[in-house]
Amino acid sequence: MSETSISEADGAALIFEAGGRRLALPLVDVVEIIRPIAITRVPHSRPELLGVANFRGVAIPVVSAPALLGAAEPKASNAERIVILKRNGVLGLMVDEVLALAKTPDTEVMDLDGLLTKSFPAQAPRSRKLETKLRSSAGANDEGDRNERAFLAFALADQEFALAIDQSDGVALLPASIARVPRTDQAMIGAAEIQGGLVPLVSLRHLLGFPPGDLDAKTSRVVLVWLAETRVGVIVDRVNEILRISPDALDPVPKVLTRAKGEAQIEAIVRLDDGRRLVSLLEPTKLFDAETASRIAAETGHGNSNMTKDEETVDGEQFIVFQLGDQSYGLAIVSVDEVVRCPDKLTRVPRAPAFVSGLMNLRGQAVPVIDQGQRFAASQASQGDRGRIVVVTIEGFKAGFLVDRVSEILTVSADDLSPAPELASDGTSVIDRVAMIEREGHMILLVDPKALLNQAERDILHNMSTTSEPAGL
């Protein structure tokens, strides 16, 4: 703490209270003073770092002034404020109360730079300027089969279907409000605001000839596809996982099945688990017959979605959004091999690190499963249907990361992506970028897949997977 005061020559100062102390900061460094806003917690961060907030479209770190001073965090009150400071970048400083502005204050000056250096020896948290062009996500795995395609598998009427990821435009939660369209058939459910545009919603049950079913806000999802120049949402009962499928796993559809009631056509059948599991592949261009397609275009109006296909896809990236406790994170879909259900039983490995839940059998390969909830210090949450495992290949090594659930696939434009503020106290961070799309009051932190495991951990896990066999092999 500096022993000097701000002199008249230095200019005015902001007087505030933090950790039971009355302190001052030069007013010239203050950009703005705001009430507390939504803060997204950052995993592996020091207690001094409260998280990341969206300030005027820029992701900024928010630091606790009481924690920097070594004081206990006070209970939240209406007097708390975030002081936005420009100090070698922009950051937010949470203080207990702003007291006054003084031209020549006789008040102890907070040595903010010194306190930040002490708490974050490698680098003080600060926001980086938005870059004109963002670096692309980690590329697809070179070691994988280049002929494989990624498919989004989902359930409908107790059967399993899938659409190619590269032919869909993402997955969204079921909107809370749906405007019903009068004088339409059962295929047309209505329209809703989704990801910045008005999207017509269609019942996939009706398109496939299944009886109507109730929509469940907790499990139903909207799969977005393009019908000519109109973005359309087809409603499914539940999204299951992401599959990587090679062409030799595809079978043509028996002709007798093409006579079934319903206009959507099944393109192929996928055989998984030695034929014990069958998934029907759908082709977006064959979901609707000509009559339905023309009716959707007429009733929604061309361009009624507030964007054209070209505008929607330019500079966009797709991310799977997963939950750990009450936090949401994103992972670039090009970095994901597949998403599968957590098996009923994992093979335990003696003397394995605490973060390793065990080994799973993934089509004959022993894959270590890491509990991301422990590593991210996430609050405990019910995993419901045993959670999901996100399978990723990192520098040739395959590992599965256990998460509470995978909620959606989100398409984010380049304009809505920004570099993550420099957050880690040791110069490293698992957070690569930030999606500046506020959802339910918070942002989505995007995980750098290469930072999920360090080299030492990869070596340990590689040794485990080569010396142990999961049950069922």
pLDDT digits (tens, 9 = 90+) for 354-377: 778 888 888 788 888 888 777 776
pLDDT (tens digit, 9 = 90+) per residue, 399-432?
A: 899 998 888 888 888 888 888 877 654 545 678 8
* Same domain (yes/no): 106, 234: no
Coarse DSSP helix, strand, coil percentages of the chain, rounded to the nearest 5 percent: 15, 40, 40
Angle at alpha carbon of residue 168, lines to 131 and 313, rounded to 5°: 30
Using one digit for the tens of pLDDT, what is the confidence trace for 165-184? Answer: 878 877 888 888 888 766 55
Which residue, 38, 59, 41, is CA-closest to 433?
59
Specify the DSSP class assigned to residue 368: E
Share of the chain above pLDDT 90, in %: 8
The residue segments making up the domain with residue 459 are 316-467
pLDDT of residue 8: 45
Categorize the per-residue pLDDT at 5 as very low, low, confident or very high, splitting at 50, 70 and 90. Answer: very low
The arithmetic mean of pLDDT across residues 283-310, rounded, is 61
Q: What is the per-residue pLDDT across 141-160, written as a single tens digit (0 to 9) for each?
A: 444 445 778 788 888 888 89
pLDDT at 124 > cutoff 80 = no
In a shared domain, residues 302 and 320: no
- Token pair of 288 as six digits: 């609707």
Measure the CA–CA gap between 191 and 179, rounded to whole angstroms: 5
The answer to whether residue 257 sits within a structural domain is yes
Q: Name the pTM for this structure.
A: 0.67
The mean per-residue pLDDT over the stretch 5-13 comes to 56
Residue 67 lies in a domain: yes
Residue 375 one-letter amino acid:
R
- Examine the domain organization and report whether 277 and 329 are in the same domain: no
Q: Is the pLDDT of residue 18 over 90?
A: yes
DSSP states along 243-265: EEE-GGGEEPPPGGGGGSSSS--
The span from the CA of 369 to the CA of 356, in Å, is: 6
216 — phi, psi (to 5°)?
Answer: -115, 115
**Which residue from 215, 222, 156 is spatially nearest to 193, judged by alpha carbons?**
222
Q: Give the pLDDT of residue 387.
A: 83
Q: Indicate whether 196 and 241 sit together in one domain.
A: yes
Residue 12 pLDDT > 80: no
CATH number at residue 38: 2.40.50.180
In a domain, 127, yes or no: no
For 73-116, what is each residue's pLDDT tens digit? Answer: 777 777 899 998 887 678 899 999 888 776 666 788 999 989 99
